[in-house]
Structure 1
């Protein structure tokens, strides 16, 4: 291991996927984007907001996090 405090940065290459939303979920996502803009004074694209929501959901699911090997969720010692 190199003599450096900072761990190797993870791969941050964006991966594009396509999903299909129900009309109700699309309306809710659009409403959330407006709510976000009012809260922070900055508009964000629905895809960016959806990505952040999904990441937050996965990170906050303790059962899911416990089920993952440590290297997958950033606790490895590369």
Structure 2
């Protein structure tokens, strides 16, 4: 069985909370079970979610482009917008 999400690496946790509807929670539980079957290792939904989100964002070309532009704007603030002499 092949999943888009690779086996999770060792990690250090930072806690973030969010609310999901019942349908999403059921799908996440199902994903965790499929993950267990694929890799022979049980991982909680809360351990899987950060890696699922990271994988999603890594695959989002538009987000990567926008994030790069955002970083460039932070690195190079506009100078000399109006010069008064």
Aligned length: 61
What's the Cα RMSD here? 2.3
Where does the alignment leave 5 or more consecutive residues of structure 2 unmatched? 1-10, 72-85
* Aligned residue number for residue 49 of structure 2: 50
Q: Cα deviations across residues 7-33 of structure 1 (Å, max 9, x unaligned)?
A: xxxxx9743211001001000000000
Question: Any idea what SS the aligned residue of 1:68 has?
Answer: helix
Larger gyration radius, structure 1 or structure 2: 2
1:18 partnered with 2:38:
no
Q: Cα deviations across residues 30-67 of structure 1 (Å, max 9, x unaligned)?
A: 00000000000000011111111101000110111011
- TM-score of the two chains, using structure 1 as the length reference: 0.68
- TM-score of the two chains, using structure 2 as the length reference: 0.63
Where does the alignment leave 5 or more consecutive residues of structure 1 unmatched? 1-11, 73-78
Matches within 5 A, 1:19-34: 19-34=18-33
Q: Which runs of 4+ in 1 moved over 4 A?
A: none
For 2:32 and 2:50, locate their aligned partners in 1 and report how far apart those are by CA, in whole Å.
12
